[in-house]
Structure 1
Amino acid sequence: MKFFIDTASLKEIQEAQDIGVLDGVTTNPSLMAKEGIAGKDNVMRHYKAICEIVDGDVSAEVISTKYEEMINEGEELAEIDEQIVVKIPMIKDGIKAIKYFSERGIKTNCTLVFSPGQALLAAKAGATYVSPFVGRLDDISTDGMTLIEDIRLIYDNYGYETQILAASVRHPMHIIQCAKIGADVMTGPLSAILALLNHPLTDSGLAKFLADHAKVNQK
């Protein structure tokens, strides 16, 4: 399973890259605003800076909701770098835009997916990635992992190449569950990725090894 980090923070992206497990980045307007990135030119430069850090795909979201405007905006985003994946909302005009981009070899990420039917439409339109939001489903007492399972079954039934990008991942158990189910990618905060490092037995075991080593060297 690929690991993407969901942020616009260059510091966090660099830290994840330095660990050696980062495969890509997802962003959105809210994450850009959180970093104080405002204005079209600044946003474009920030996307380029992200691409210079990470080796894999970088999702850049369109703001428009109308077909023609999404096409214009998406083409402009795709020109930033070959790593850019145009992030398109799951709406009627969005599906049309995904079809347009897929026919022209521009990678897309269909976002805000909450049902198997939406994921099926995105795959038929040729989306590179489909982003079911597992955490937001959990927030309304719905099992987000069931959605991942349903999409995995449908895609495997018909050989769709669209990758399941589990989004709105909140914690390490989300990551483990996505890996067990067969999500192709997960995207979440750096904290969730780093939490995979932790286990109390690892900590106590290391402490014992170091203590024993210190005793041996004192003799």
Structure 2
Amino acid sequence: MNQLDALKQFTTVVADTGDFKQLAQFKPQDATTNPSLILKAVQKPEYAPLLQSTVAQWKERPMDEVIDRLLVGFGCEILATIPGRVSTEVDARLSFDTSATVTRAERIIELYQAQGIHIDRVLIKVAATWEGIKAAEKLEQRGIHTNLTLLFSFCQAVACGQAKVQLISPFVGRIYDWYKKQAGASWDEAARSGANDPGVQSVTQIYNHYKHFGIATEVMGASFRNIGQITALAGCDLLTIAPELLAQLAASEALLQPALNAEAARATALPAVQYDEAGFRYALNEDAMATEKLAEGIRSFAADAVKLEKLIQAV
């Protein structure tokens, strides 16, 4: 049995791509997209017709609506290929505006529903800022499920659990990137791999906290740099994996065992943790890595949203 099939026995495998033509070969349960992945996909010739038809049909509408219709167009194509859910992201420029995030999310859901897609097949991706978490809390109360992204710290995960969000996406690879860059020449790749990888350690801590305290929010490790990070998180609720790494897993016959264990987490003594807004902001501020990577991620997704707008204007 290859590692991809082995992984699917104890973890829900999700494809991290906007390239829906690549999806079928890996048979993932769910799929995730983000502004950067959609931007990458729409620049490929095979997706030009989807871009052109969306723009032609809706070009008189405000740009933000055209963007949402394009995102939903990709999402519908992805849902035709997979049995589960697709994650579609709210514009990152709204990351500090709770009410605007809620409004935008509701429109995305309405656009999916107009295409006959059931609400339970869509996760609205929102950056895990305090304002984003509060928006997600309101959306969940209205029956709209959310995926809290750009999650780098334990305090973000705790606040998401308190808000009863459906799912969180802790970013393994970007955490690893930060610590590797900080260490510079002193970085020891072998010593900081597998269970000792800082990104793996972050997700493991979050997973154990959720399972110990019976928090229903799903944990989906994201942003992987190598398959060692993936295999070190085998047993996590879900893992969202880029097509290149899915291919590497499918090509490997190495033995794969679960690394995370809900039963063990329940039996471990862990302190209860809760955050109000002030406590959350202070805890995030104390974590230089999370503060920097959250800000950088929002800037990057916002920049790609602007590039997507320019592409649309040029059609």
Q: Normalised by the shorter chain, which TM-score bucket?
A: 0.7 to 0.9
> Which of residues 69, 88, 98 in structure 1 aligns to 2:100?
69
Contact 1:170 1:188 in 2 (8 A): no
Residue 186 (str. 1) matches residue 248 (str. 2): no
Contact 1:113 1:133 in 2 (8 A): yes
Q: 1:198 to 1:51 in 2, by over 3 A?
A: closer
Deviations 1:21-74 (A, max 9, x none): x11001001111111258423222221111111111110000022111111111
Q: C-alpha distance in 2, partners of 1:122/1:200? A: 36
Segments of structure 1 that go 5 or more residues without pairing to the other structure are 202-219
Residue 60 (str. 1) matches residue 88 (str. 2): yes
Q: Which residue of 1 aligns with 2:271?
A: none
Quote how far apart the aligned CAs of 1:199 are: 4.1
Q: Which residue of 2 aligns with 1:217?
A: none
Segments of structure 2 that go 5 or more residues without pairing to the other structure are 1-10, 43-50, 56-65, 181-197, 255-315
- Secondary structure (helix, strand or coil) at the match of 1:111 reads strand
Q: Which residue of 2 aligns with 1:172?
A: 227
Contact 1:25 1:187 in 2 (8 A): yes
Residue 28 (str. 1) matches residue 20 (str. 2): no
- Give the AA of the match of 1:78: I
Quote how far apart the aligned CAs of 1:16 are: 2.2
Quote how far apart the aligned CAs of 1:200 are: 8.0
Give the alignment of 1:1-16 within 5 angstroms.
1-16=11-26
Quote how far apart the aligned CAs of 1:171 are: 2.4
Q: C-alpha distance in 2, partners of 1:73/1:54? A: 25
Q: 1:122 to 1:199 in 2, by over 3 A?
A: closer
Give the alignment of 1:203-218 within 5 angstroms.
none
Identity %: 29
Give the alignment of 1:60-209 within 5 angstroms.
60-63=88-91, 64-65=94-95, 66-79=97-110, 80=112, 81-82=117-118, 83-141=121-179, 143-179=198-234, 182-199=235-252
Alignment TM-score, normalising by the size of structure 2 = 0.59
Alignment TM-score, normalising by the size of structure 1 = 0.83
Contact 1:169 1:186 in 2 (8 A): no
Contact 1:9 1:35 in 2 (8 A): yes
Q: C-alpha distance in 1, partners of 2:82/2:230? A: 20
Q: Which residue of 1 aligns with 2:71?
A: 43
Query: What is the aligned-residue RMSD (CA, Å)?
Result: 1.7
Q: C-alpha distance in 2, partners of 1:200/1:157? A: 33
- Secondary structure (helix, strand or coil) at the match of 2:15 reads strand
Deviations 1:123-180 (A, max 9, x none): 110111111100001111261011011101211221001111001023222221111x
Q: Which runs of 4+ in 1 moved over 3 A?
A: none
Quote how far apart the aligned CAs of 1:196 are: 1.5
